[in-house]
Amino acid sequence: MASDQNEVSKGLEWRIKVADGSSEILVPEAKSAATRVLLCLKAFIVGLASKVWKFLLKAWDVGVDDPRKVIHCLKVGMALTVVSLFYYMRPLYDGVGGTAMWAIMTVVVVFENTVGATICKSLNRMSGTFLAGFLAVGVQWIASQSGNRFEPIIIGASVFLLASAATFSRFIPSVKARFDYGAMIFILTFSLVSISGYRVDEVFNLAHRRLSTIIIGTTLCIIVSMLVCPIWAGQELFTLIFRNMDKLADSLEGCVGEYFKDGDDIDDSDKECHKKLQGYKCVLSSKAAEDSMANFARWEPAHGGFNFRHPWKQYIKIGASMRSCAYCIEALNSCINSENQANEYIKKHISNNCLKVSSNSSGVIRELALTIKTMKKSSNIHFLVGDMNNAVQELQPEAAETPENKTTEQQPASKTVVTIMPIVDIIPLVTLTSLLIEIVSRINGIVDAVEELADLAEFKPASNDKCGKDDDQLNNNFLPDQQKDKDTMKKVFPRV
Amino acid sequence: MASDQNEVSKGLEWRIKVADGSSEILVPEAKSAATRVLLCLKAFIVGLASKVWKFLLKAWDVGVDDPRKVIHCLKVGMALTVVSLFYYMRPLYDGVGGTAMWAIMTVVVVFENTVGATICKSLNRMSGTFLAGFLAVGVQWIASQSGNRFEPIIIGASVFLLASAATFSRFIPSVKARFDYGAMIFILTFSLVSISGYRVDEVFNLAHRRLSTIIIGTTLCIIVSMLVCPIWAGQELFTLIFRNMDKLADSLEGCVGEYFKDGDDIDDSDKECHKKLQGYKCVLSSKAAEDSMANFARWEPAHGGFNFRHPWKQYIKIGASMRSCAYCIEALNSCINSENQANEYIKKHISNNCLKVSSNSSGVIRELALTIKTMKKSSNIHFLVGDMNNAVQELQPEAAETPENKTTEQQPASKTVVTIMPIVDIIPLVTLTSLLIEIVSRINGIVDAVEELADLAEFKPASNDKCGKDDDQLNNNFLPDQQKDKDTMKKVFPRV
C-alpha cells in the first residue's frame, strides 16, 4: 500500500513538474490536439449518421415505390419461419434429422421475387440434386467395388471430370439461360455426396435425405410465392412492355411538340415535361429486364389472362422493335437540341405537318399499348397506321410526284424556282423530317410485332362501340389540320 | 423338368395357332404398327443424336472461341479435388470434422470466372457469415436466458425480422451492386446457426466451424483463381472498351464508305464487310457486361498496368459515351439503307467531304483506342480532333458565313440563285450530313471521357517519334482532298 501511494505521488509530482516546466508551450497544444480528436470523432459520427440516414431514406423510397418488395421480404421471413418448424417439432425433426438444415438453405437460396424465378430455381435445384445424387451413388458403388486403394482415386477423378464438364456447360448460352443454377447444384451435390460417401458409409441415405429435404424446401417456396400476393414474371413483363410503349409515345410527341412550340409559354410543369421527354431512355435500358422476365415467365402456370404456353418470346421481339425506334428518337432529340437554328419561316410552315406525324404516330403506339393492355385486337389500328403513313407521305411531297428523279441527274437547272434560302437554315428541319420518316417506318415494325403477338396469343377483337368513337374523335382532331398542311406544304416546298 | 417342357411346348403351340388363325388379317397390320413404332423410335433417336451433336458442336465452338473458359473449368475441378483432400487425409479431417462439406460448398459457389468476381463473392461470403454467426450466437444466448417457453419464440421472431430486413436490403441498388450475395449468406447463416442452436446445444462451435471451413474454401478459391492462368475482370473491361472503340470506328467508316462507293465493285469480301458494319451493335449491347466487370474490377489487387485504385468507373463513362455515339450510327445506318435515293450529282460532290469526316472521325476513335491500349497519352489527338472539327465545318459551309441568318427570316427572296433541285433529292444527303455532325459532337464526348481517364489513371505521354510520323501521314492523306472538297462545296452549296 505504502509503495503504491509512493508511486502514485511520484507520478503526480512528475506530471505537475512537466506541466509546470512547459505549461505555456505544451498545454495549449495538448488541448488543441484533444479538441481536434474530438472534432474528428464528432465529424465522423455526424458523417456516419447522415450516411445511415440517407441510406434509410433511400430504403424507404424503394419500399414506397413498390410496396410489393416489402411484401416479398415478409414472405421470405414467413417461409423461413415455417421451415424452421421442422426443427422445433419433434415428430418432423425425427423424420429428417439434422439434414433439416438443407430445407432452410433451400428456402433462402431458392425464394425469388417472382413466381417464375422461384419455380425455375426450384426445378433446377431438384433436377440437379436428383441427377447428381443418382450419379454419385453409382460412382460410389463402382469405387467401393475396386478396393481401398483405388477408391479415393476413382472418386477424385470423377469429381474432377464431372465438375469441369458441368462448369463448362454453364458457358454455353442455351444452358446458361435456363439451367445455370441447376448445373451449379449438380456439381455441389455430386461433390458432397461422393466425397462424404468415402467416410459416411451410408451414401444412399445421405443422397435420399438431401433430396427429400430439398423437395420440402422447394415445395414450400413455390406454394408461398404462388399463394401469398404472387408476383408473376409474365405479368411484370406484360406491364413493362405496354408502359414502355406509352413512354415512347409520350417522348416522341413531347420531343416534336417542344421543338415547334413558341418560346414564350414556359410554365411550371417544365420538370414534369422534361421527365416525360426522357421516357425513351427507359426503353433503351430495359433489354436485360425483358430477357430475364421472359425467361422466367415460361416456367409459370396459367395466371390472369395468360395460359401456360403464352408466347412470351414475342414480347422480346416487341421490345427489340421498340428499342430500335427509341434509338431514332434519341437521334431526333439531339438533332432538336443542336446548335443549328432552323429558319423560322419554314419551321412555322412545316410545323403542322410534323406535329401531325408525331401525334399520329404516338397515337398508333398508344393504340398498340392499349391492344396489349386489354389483350384485344384493335379494330382501328389499320386506320391509324394509314393516317400515319399518309401524314408521312405529305412530309415528303415531291417523292410521289417525281419517281424518276434518278434520271434528272446533272440537269438541275431545268427546275422552276420558288423559294431560295441557305442550306444551313433547312438542315435541322430536313433532318427532323427524315428522322420522323424513319421513326414511322420503325413504328410499322412495332405494329407488325404486336399483330404477330395478337395472332399467337389469340387476342379477341375489341367490341366496336369504343373504337368507333375513338376513330371519330381522331378524325375530328386531324382532318382540318391535314387540309391546312397540304396547302402550306404546296406553298413552301414545291421546289426549293 | 417335364412340366416345364410341357409349358414351353404349350406356349409354342398357342403362338403358332394364333399365327395360323389370323395370318392374313392381322400380320400386315401388326407389322406396320411395329414398323411405325420402330420408325418413330428411329426418328426420335436420330433427332436426339443430332440435337446432342449440335449441342456438342456449339460447346466445341465456345471452347475454341475462348480457351480460357476451358482452363477455368479445369481450375474449378482442381480446386474441388484439392478441397476434397480434407476428407481423405485423417489429420485434416479430424481438425474440422463433418463440416468439411462447407468448404466444398464454398468452392462450388464462390469460384467465378474472373478474379474480381471470386474475391467479391469470397469477401461477401466471409463477412456475411461472420456477421450472421456473431448475431446468431448473441440471439441464442438471449433466448437461452429467457427460459424454455420463450426460446423458440425469440429465435423464430429474430429469424423472421432479420431475414425480412436482409431480403429488403437486397432491393436497394447500392447494396445490390456490391453486397447482394453477402446479404443472402447473412440470412442463410443466421437461420442455420440460430435454428440449429435450438437442438445442437453447441451453437458457438457450429458458428466457429462454419466460419473456419468457409475461410479455408474461400482462401483456396482466391489462391487458385489468382495463380493459375488468372482472368482479371479489370483486364477484360479494358480490352472490351478498346475493342469496342475499334468496332465503332470500323462501322462508322464502313457505313459511310459503303454509301458513297460505286455500285459495281461488289466483291467476295462482302460478308466480312457486312460483319464489320454491324460492329456498333456490340457497343449497343455491352452495357451489362461493362457494369458488372467494373463492379468486380475494383475488388482486384494491382495487376498488369493497373494499380489497386485504378479509376474503373471512368470506363463505364467511356462506354456510355460510346453508346450514345452508336445510337447515332444506328440512325445513320438506317438513313443510308432507306428507300429515298439521293441525287447522284450532289452525292458525288459531297462524297469526298463526307468520306473525309468519317475517316477523320474514325481516325480519332482509333487513336483513342490506341491511347487506352498503350495507356499512353497521345500527343497528336488534338491535331486529329482539330482535323475532324475542320472537316465538319466544311460540311456546313454556310454556317460560318451567315451567323446572322436568324435575322433573314421572311426575306428569302434576297438570296442569289445558283442550283435548284427537288428537296426530296437532298433529304438523304442532308440527313447524312446532319447525323455525321452529331456523331462528331458525340465523338468529342468520347475524347473528353478518355482524357479524363488519362488524367485519373496518370497515363504517361507517348514517345514523340511515332506520333510525328502518323501526323505527317495523315496530313498527306487528307490535304489534297480537303482542298478539292472546299472547291467542290463552294460550287454546289453556296446557296441552294
CA-wise closest residue to B80 among B182, B189, B224, B183: B224
User: In this complex, which of B73, B160, B423 lies closest to A77 when CB atoms are compared?
Assistant: B160
Angle made by CA atoms B373, B378, B380, in degrees to the nearest 5: 140
Query: Could you tell me if residue A313 is left (phi over 0), alpha (psi between -120 and 50 degrees) or otherwise beta?
Result: alpha
For A400-430, letters b (16+ CB in 10 Å) and e give: eeeeebeebeeebeebeeeebbbbbbbbbbb
Q: Are B111 and B119 in contact (CB under 8 A)?
A: no
Residue B440, min C-alpha distance to chain A (Å): 12
Residue at A49: amino acid letter: A
Contact A59/B at CB under 8 A = yes
Q: Which are the contacts of A114, defined by CB distance < 8 A and separation ≥ 6?
A: A225, A231, A232, A233, A236, A293, A296
Search chain B and give the residue with CA nearest A168: B73
pLDDT score at A304: 81
Q: Which are the contacts of B38, defined by CB distance < 8 A and separation ≥ 6?
A: none
Interatomic CA distance for residues B306 and B297, integer angstroms: 10
Element containing residue B67 per DSSP (H, E):
helix B67-88
Angle made by CA atoms B277, B278, B279, in degrees to the nearest 5: 95
User: In this complex, which of B58, B415, B431 lies closest to A420 when CB atoms are compared?
Assistant: B415
For B136-169, letters b (16+ CB in 10 Å) and e give: bbebbeebbeeeeeebbebbbebbbebbbebbbb
The whole-number mean pLDDT for each consecutive block of 10 residues of chain A, a chain of 496 residues, reads: 44 43 48 85 92 89 87 89 75 61 86 92 91 87 82 86 90 86 90 72 74 88 90 92 92 86 58 77 88 90 85 92 90 76 74 87 91 87 88 64 36 42 70 86 91 88 55 40 40 37
Contact A431 B428 (CB under 8 A): no
Q: Are B441 and B400 in contact (CB under 8 A)?
A: no
Q: Are B318 and B446 in contact (CB under 8 A)?
A: yes
Grid coordinates given for B266: 461488289
Angle made by CA atoms B242, B358, B383, in degrees to the nearest 5: 75
Chain B neighbors of A163, CB-CB under 8 A:
73, 76-77, 80, 108
Q: Which single residue is written with the C-alpha cell 420463450? A: B150
CA-wise closest residue to B121 among B106, B136, B131, B105: B106
Chain A neighbors of B104, CB-CB under 8 A:
188, 191-192, 195
Interface of B with A in 205-264 (CB under 8 A): none
Q: Which are the contacts of A123, defined by CB distance < 8 A and separation ≥ 6?
A: A182, A299
Contact A131/B at CB under 8 A = no
User: In this complex, which of B152, B191, B496 lies closest to A104 when CB atoms are compared?
Assistant: B191
Contact A159 B80 (CB under 8 A): yes
Residue A402, min C-alpha distance to chain B (Å): 9
Q: Mapping DSSP to helix (H, G, I), strand (E, B) and coil, where does residue A239 land?
A: helix
Grid coordinates given for B320: 456510355
CA-wise closest residue to B378 among B365, B359, B390: B365
Q: Which single residue is written with the C-alpha cell 429486364? A: A289
By residue count, chain A amounts to 496
Contact A398 B431 (CB under 8 A): no
- Would you say the pTM of this structure is higher than 0.80? no
Contact A60/B at CB under 8 A = no
Which of A170, A334, A437 best probes binding to B when mutated, by most B CB atoms within 10 angstroms?
Answer: A334
CA-wise closest residue to A260 among A320, A186, A350, A184: A350
Contact B288/A at CB under 8 A = yes
CA-wise closest residue to A119 among A67, A176, A182, A183: A182
Contact A431 B426 (CB under 8 A): no
Residue A381: Cβ within 10 Å count? 21
CB < 8 Å & 24+ apart, contacts of B363-368: B363/B249, B363/B387, B363/B388, B363/B474, B364/B388, B364/B443, B364/B447, B365/B245, B365/B246, B365/B248, B365/B249, B365/B252, B365/B443, B365/B446, B366/B245, B366/B246, B366/B249, B368/B245, B368/B446, B368/B447, B368/B450
Residue A1: Cβ within 10 Å count? 5
Strand pairing report for A460-461 and B376-377: unpaired
Contact A187/B at CB under 8 A = yes
pLDDT score at B206: 74
Residue A61: Cβ within 10 Å count? 11
User: In this complex, which of B104, B188, B433 lies closest to A192 when CB atoms are compared?
Assistant: B104
Q: Which single residue is written with the C-alpha cell 420440402? A: A216
Residue A383: Cβ within 10 Å count? 17
CA-wise closest residue to B406 among A339, A157, A84: A339
Contact A415 B402 (CB under 8 A): no
- Distance from chain centroid for Cα A429: 35
Contact A492/B at CB under 8 A = no
Residue B269 is classified by DSSP as T
CA-wise closest residue to A443 among A385, A386, A390, A394: A385
Q: Which are the contacts of B93, defined by CB distance < 8 A and separation ≥ 6?
A: A199, B86, B87, B100
Q: Mapping DSSP to helix (H, G, I), strand (E, B) and coil, where does residue A407 land?
A: coil
pLDDT in tens, chain B (496 residues): 444 444 444 444 444 444 444 444 444 555 678 888 999 999 999 999 999 999 888 888 888 888 888 889 998 888 888 887 776 766 555 655 566 778 888 888 889 889 999 999 999 999 998 999 888 888 888 888 887 788 888 888 888 999 999 999 888 888 888 888 999 999 988 888 877 766 656 677 777 778 888 888 899 999 999 988 899 999 999 999 999 999 999 999 888 888 887 655 555 566 677 777 788 888 888 888 999 999 999 888 888 888 888 899 999 999 999 999 998 888 888 877 766 666 777 777 788 888 888 889 999 999 999 999 988 888 888 888 888 888 888 876 543 333 333 333 333 433 443 455 566 667 778 888 888 888 998 999 999 999 999 988 888 887 654 444 444 444 444 333 444 444 443 433 433 3
Contact B39/A at CB under 8 A = no
Contact A420/B at CB under 8 A = yes
Contact B77 A199 (CB under 8 A): no
Q: Which are the contacts of A226, defined by CB distance < 8 A and separation ≥ 6?
A: A115
Interface of A with B in 258-277 (CB under 8 A): none
Interatomic CA distance for residues A57 and A412, integer angstroms: 67
pLDDT score at A29: 55
Contact A427 B415 (CB under 8 A): no
For A437-449, letters b (16+ CB in 10 Å) and e give: bbbbbbbbbbbeb
Concatenating the DSSP letter of every residue in B442-485 gives: HHHHHHHHHHHHHHHTTPEEPPHHHHHHHHHHHHHHHHHHHHHH
Q: Are B378 and B454 in contact (CB under 8 A)?
A: no
Q: Are B249 and B365 in contact (CB under 8 A)?
A: yes
Chain A neighbors of B167, CB-CB under 8 A:
72-73, 76-77
SS3 percent helix, strand, coil of chain B, rounded to 5, is: 80, 0, 15
pLDDT score at A396: 67
pLDDT score at B197: 67
Chain A neighbors of B228, CB-CB under 8 A:
none
Contact A405/B at CB under 8 A = yes
CA-wise closest residue to A437 among A256, A315, A277, A284: A256
Q: State how far the alpha carbon of B172 is from the alpha carbons of A60, A116, A320, B120, in Å.
A: 10, 22, 28, 18
Q: At what angle do helices B115-145 and B287-297 cross, to 10 degrees?
A: 70
CA-wise closest residue to B186 among B147, B128, B135: B128
User: In this complex, which of A58, A191, A330 lies closest to B80 when CB atoms are compared?
Assistant: A191
Interatomic CA distance for residues B133 and B189, integer angstroms: 6
Interatomic CA distance for residues B438 and A323, integer angstroms: 20
Q: Where are the beta strands (DSSP E) in B326-475?
A: 376-377, 460-461
Grid coordinates given for A293: 422476365
Q: Are B252 and B141 in contact (CB under 8 A)?
A: no
ipTM beyond cut 0.90:
no
Q: Which are the contacts of B161, defined by CB distance < 8 A and separation ≥ 6?
A: A77
pLDDT score at A365: 92
Q: Which single residue is written with the C-alpha cell 488543441? A: A32
Contact B415 A428 (CB under 8 A): no
Q: Which are the contacts of B253, defined by CB distance < 8 A and separation ≥ 6?
A: B358, B359, B362
Q: Mapping DSSP to helix (H, G, I), strand (E, B) and coil, where does residue A460 land?
A: strand
Contact A163 B80 (CB under 8 A): yes
Element containing residue B440 per DSSP (H, E):
helix B423-456
Residue B323, min C-alpha distance to chain A (Å): 10
Contact B415 A422 (CB under 8 A): yes
